[in-house]
A and B are shown apart, each in its own frame.
Chain A
Amino acid sequence: DARVTQTPRHKVTEMGQEVTMRCQPILGHNTVFWYRQTMMQGLELLAYFRNRAPLDDSGMPKDRFSAEMPDATLATLKIQPSEPRDSAVYFCASGLVLGSGELFFGEGSRLTVL
Protein backbone atom coordinates (compact mmCIF):
# COMPACT_ATOMS: atom_id res chain seq x y z
CA ASP A 1 0.00 0.00 0.00
CA ALA A 2 1.92 3.04 -1.28
CA ARG A 3 1.73 6.07 0.96
CA VAL A 4 3.64 9.14 2.03
CA THR A 5 5.28 8.68 5.40
CA GLN A 6 6.05 11.58 7.71
CA THR A 7 8.02 11.65 10.95
CA PRO A 8 7.60 12.65 13.67
CA ARG A 9 3.82 12.64 13.92
CA HIS A 10 3.96 14.88 16.94
CA LYS A 11 6.69 17.17 18.24
CA VAL A 12 6.70 19.48 21.23
CA THR A 13 9.72 21.70 21.59
CA GLU A 14 10.83 24.91 23.18
CA MET A 15 11.36 28.18 21.40
CA GLY A 16 14.81 28.44 19.90
CA GLN A 17 15.28 24.72 19.35
CA GLU A 18 15.95 23.17 15.97
CA VAL A 19 13.19 21.02 14.49
CA THR A 20 13.58 18.61 11.59
CA MET A 21 10.63 16.96 9.91
CA ARG A 22 11.10 14.13 7.46
CA CYS A 23 9.07 12.78 4.60
CA GLN A 24 9.33 9.65 2.50
CA PRO A 25 7.44 10.21 -0.75
CA ILE A 26 5.76 7.44 -2.69
CA LEU A 27 8.32 5.50 -4.69
CA GLY A 28 8.45 6.78 -8.25
CA HIS A 29 6.86 10.15 -7.51
CA ASN A 30 9.12 12.94 -8.69
CA THR A 31 7.37 15.91 -7.11
CA VAL A 32 7.31 16.70 -3.40
CA PHE A 33 5.44 19.48 -1.66
CA TRP A 34 5.53 20.89 1.87
CA TYR A 35 2.40 22.55 3.25
CA ARG A 36 1.60 24.09 6.60
CA GLN A 37 -1.92 24.09 8.04
CA THR A 38 -3.20 26.37 10.78
CA MET A 39 -6.66 27.46 11.82
CA MET A 40 -5.87 31.08 11.04
CA GLN A 41 -4.15 30.73 7.66
CA GLY A 42 -5.52 27.46 6.36
CA LEU A 43 -3.20 25.54 4.03
CA GLU A 44 -0.05 27.35 2.97
CA LEU A 45 2.43 26.08 0.41
CA LEU A 46 5.94 26.33 1.79
CA ALA A 47 8.05 24.74 -0.95
CA TYR A 48 8.00 22.16 -3.71
CA PHE A 49 10.48 20.08 -5.63
CA ARG A 50 10.69 18.23 -8.90
CA ASN A 51 13.32 15.56 -9.38
CA ARG A 52 14.83 16.71 -6.07
CA ALA A 53 15.40 20.26 -7.34
CA PRO A 54 13.55 23.09 -5.59
CA LEU A 55 11.09 24.83 -7.88
CA ASP A 56 9.61 27.33 -5.48
CA ASP A 57 10.29 28.01 -1.83
CA SER A 58 8.83 31.49 -1.72
CA GLY A 59 6.31 30.43 0.91
CA MET A 60 8.98 29.76 3.50
CA PRO A 61 10.49 32.25 5.93
CA LYS A 62 13.99 32.14 4.52
CA ASP A 63 15.81 33.12 7.66
CA ARG A 64 14.67 30.12 9.68
CA PHE A 65 13.22 27.49 7.34
CA SER A 66 15.04 25.25 4.92
CA ALA A 67 13.83 22.38 2.75
CA GLU A 68 15.97 19.80 1.01
CA MET A 69 15.82 16.45 -0.74
CA PRO A 70 19.05 14.60 0.06
CA ASP A 71 17.84 11.76 -2.14
CA ALA A 72 14.73 10.64 -3.97
CA THR A 73 13.37 8.82 -0.93
CA LEU A 74 13.76 11.59 1.63
CA ALA A 75 12.60 15.19 1.94
CA THR A 76 13.38 17.28 5.00
CA LEU A 77 11.99 20.50 6.41
CA LYS A 78 14.08 22.19 9.04
CA ILE A 79 13.26 25.09 11.31
CA GLN A 80 16.09 26.79 13.17
CA PRO A 81 15.43 28.49 15.49
CA SER A 82 11.81 27.57 16.09
CA GLU A 83 9.27 30.11 17.35
CA PRO A 84 5.78 29.70 18.86
CA ARG A 85 4.20 31.04 15.64
CA ASP A 86 5.60 27.99 13.83
CA SER A 87 3.15 25.78 15.71
CA ALA A 88 1.09 24.06 13.02
CA VAL A 89 0.56 20.80 11.22
CA TYR A 90 3.10 20.31 8.47
CA PHE A 91 2.11 18.12 5.54
CA CYS A 92 4.27 16.53 2.93
CA ALA A 93 2.70 15.44 -0.35
CA SER A 94 4.07 13.73 -3.41
CA GLY A 95 2.86 13.47 -6.99
CA LEU A 96 3.73 11.61 -10.13
CA VAL A 97 3.35 14.43 -12.64
CA LEU A 98 3.91 18.12 -12.01
CA GLY A 99 0.78 20.05 -12.77
CA SER A 100 -1.59 17.08 -12.58
CA GLY A 101 -3.03 18.34 -9.30
CA GLU A 102 -3.10 14.80 -7.99
CA LEU A 103 -1.17 14.78 -4.76
CA PHE A 104 -0.86 12.14 -2.10
CA PHE A 105 -0.58 13.58 1.37
CA GLY A 106 1.08 12.19 4.44
CA GLU A 107 -0.71 12.29 7.75
CA GLY A 108 1.22 15.33 8.90
CA SER A 109 3.63 16.34 11.62
CA ARG A 110 1.97 18.31 14.41
CA LEU A 111 4.48 20.81 15.80
CA THR A 112 4.00 22.69 19.03
CA VAL A 113 6.60 25.29 19.96
CA LEU A 114 6.36 26.49 23.57
Chain B
Amino acid sequence: AQSVTQLDSHVSVSEGTPVLLRCNYSSSYSPSLFWYVQHPNKGLQLLLKYTTGATLVKSINGFEAEFKKSETSFHLTKPSAHMSDAAEYFCVVSGRGSTLGRLYFGRGTQLTVWP
Protein backbone atom coordinates (compact mmCIF):
# COMPACT_ATOMS: atom_id res chain seq x y z
CA ALA B 1 0.00 0.00 0.00
CA GLN B 2 1.05 3.56 -0.66
CA SER B 3 0.86 6.49 1.73
CA VAL B 4 2.63 9.69 2.64
CA THR B 5 3.04 11.49 5.94
CA GLN B 6 3.75 15.18 6.03
CA LEU B 7 5.35 15.77 9.37
CA ASP B 8 4.34 19.40 9.83
CA SER B 9 0.90 20.86 9.23
CA HIS B 10 2.24 24.43 9.43
CA VAL B 11 5.67 25.92 8.77
CA SER B 12 6.46 29.61 9.23
CA VAL B 13 9.64 31.26 7.99
CA SER B 14 10.91 34.75 7.40
CA GLU B 15 11.49 35.95 3.87
CA GLY B 16 15.01 35.13 2.78
CA THR B 17 15.46 32.20 5.16
CA PRO B 18 15.54 28.51 4.20
CA VAL B 19 12.44 26.37 3.86
CA LEU B 20 12.15 22.70 4.83
CA LEU B 21 8.89 20.79 4.35
CA ARG B 22 9.15 17.20 5.47
CA CYS B 23 7.59 14.16 3.86
CA ASN B 24 7.94 10.45 4.52
CA TYR B 25 6.40 7.85 2.27
CA SER B 26 5.39 4.24 2.38
CA SER B 27 5.22 2.20 -0.79
CA SER B 28 5.22 -1.44 -1.69
CA TYR B 29 6.74 -0.52 -5.04
CA SER B 30 9.63 1.63 -6.13
CA PRO B 31 7.77 4.92 -5.77
CA SER B 32 7.11 7.90 -7.95
CA LEU B 33 6.90 10.96 -5.73
CA PHE B 34 5.59 14.45 -6.29
CA TRP B 35 5.13 17.78 -4.64
CA TYR B 36 2.06 19.81 -5.53
CA VAL B 37 1.40 23.40 -4.45
CA GLN B 38 -1.95 25.07 -3.85
CA HIS B 39 -2.25 28.83 -3.60
CA PRO B 40 -5.33 30.29 -1.88
CA ASN B 41 -8.58 29.62 -3.72
CA LYS B 42 -6.75 27.89 -6.56
CA GLY B 43 -6.31 24.37 -7.84
CA LEU B 44 -3.21 22.32 -7.21
CA GLN B 45 -0.17 22.62 -9.45
CA LEU B 46 2.65 20.16 -9.90
CA LEU B 47 5.83 21.60 -8.44
CA LEU B 48 8.31 18.79 -9.06
CA LYS B 49 8.48 15.03 -9.44
CA TYR B 50 10.77 12.06 -8.94
CA THR B 51 10.26 8.92 -10.99
CA THR B 52 13.62 7.29 -11.71
CA GLY B 53 17.20 8.41 -12.17
CA ALA B 54 18.61 11.46 -10.41
CA THR B 55 17.44 11.53 -6.82
CA LEU B 56 17.65 15.32 -6.52
CA VAL B 57 14.93 17.04 -8.50
CA LYS B 58 14.32 20.74 -8.94
CA SER B 59 11.51 23.11 -9.80
CA ILE B 60 11.76 26.21 -11.93
CA ASN B 61 11.27 28.52 -8.94
CA GLY B 62 14.10 27.27 -6.75
CA PHE B 63 12.57 24.38 -4.80
CA GLU B 64 14.37 21.06 -4.56
CA ALA B 65 13.48 17.62 -3.25
CA GLU B 66 15.72 14.65 -2.69
CA PHE B 67 14.54 11.04 -2.81
CA LYS B 68 16.19 9.10 -0.02
CA LYS B 69 15.25 5.46 -0.16
CA SER B 70 17.07 4.52 3.02
CA GLU B 71 15.10 7.13 4.94
CA THR B 72 11.86 6.76 2.94
CA SER B 73 11.83 10.53 2.66
CA PHE B 74 11.20 13.16 0.01
CA HIS B 75 11.68 16.47 1.80
CA LEU B 76 11.12 19.76 -0.03
CA THR B 77 13.63 22.55 0.45
CA LYS B 78 14.37 26.04 -0.78
CA PRO B 79 17.43 28.06 0.21
CA SER B 80 15.64 31.40 0.45
CA ALA B 81 11.91 31.87 0.93
CA HIS B 82 9.96 34.47 -1.00
CA MET B 83 6.63 35.98 -0.07
CA SER B 84 5.10 34.38 -3.14
CA ASP B 85 5.97 30.91 -1.79
CA ALA B 86 3.23 31.18 0.83
CA ALA B 87 0.83 28.36 -0.03
CA GLU B 88 -0.13 24.83 0.93
CA TYR B 89 2.20 22.07 -0.20
CA PHE B 90 1.21 18.45 -0.73
CA CYS B 91 3.52 15.46 -0.90
CA VAL B 92 2.15 12.74 -3.15
CA VAL B 93 2.99 9.14 -4.01
CA SER B 94 1.49 7.42 -7.02
CA GLY B 95 -0.12 4.03 -7.16
CA ARG B 96 1.05 1.09 -9.22
CA GLY B 97 -0.46 -2.15 -10.40
CA SER B 98 -4.10 -2.37 -9.42
CA THR B 99 -4.00 1.22 -8.17
CA LEU B 100 -2.32 2.65 -11.24
CA GLY B 101 -3.45 6.22 -11.71
CA ARG B 102 -4.32 6.85 -8.09
CA LEU B 103 -2.43 9.59 -6.30
CA TYR B 104 -2.06 9.35 -2.54
CA PHE B 105 -1.91 12.84 -1.02
CA GLY B 106 -0.49 13.86 2.29
CA ARG B 107 -2.54 16.13 4.54
CA GLY B 108 -0.61 19.17 3.40
CA THR B 109 1.78 21.67 4.96
CA GLN B 110 0.75 25.30 5.11
CA LEU B 111 3.76 27.51 4.50
CA THR B 112 3.63 31.05 5.87
CA VAL B 113 6.33 33.53 4.88
CA TRP B 114 6.78 36.61 7.07
CA PRO B 115 8.23 39.83 5.66
Chain A contacts to B: CB under 8 angstroms: 4, 31, 33, 42-43, 45, 48, 50, 55-56, 91, 93, 98-99, 101-108
Contacts and interface: CB of A to CB of B under 8 A. Distances in A.
17 contacts: A4-B43, A42-B106, A42-B108, A43-B108, A48-B101, A50-B101, A55-B101, A93-B43, A93-B44, A101-B49, A101-B51, A101-B92, A103-B46, A103-B103, A107-B43, A108-B42, A108-B43
Interface residues of B, number: 23
A101 B94 contact: yes
The interface centre, meaning the residue of A33, A48, A50, A105 with most chain B CB atoms within 10 A of its CB, is A105
A98 B101 contact: yes
Q: Is the interface of B mostly helix, strand, loop or mixed?
A: loop
Q: Is the interface of A mostly helix, strand, loop or mixed?
A: strand
B82 interface: no
Interface in B69-108: 90, 92, 94-96, 100-103, 105-108
A43 B105 contact: yes
Contacts of A55: 101
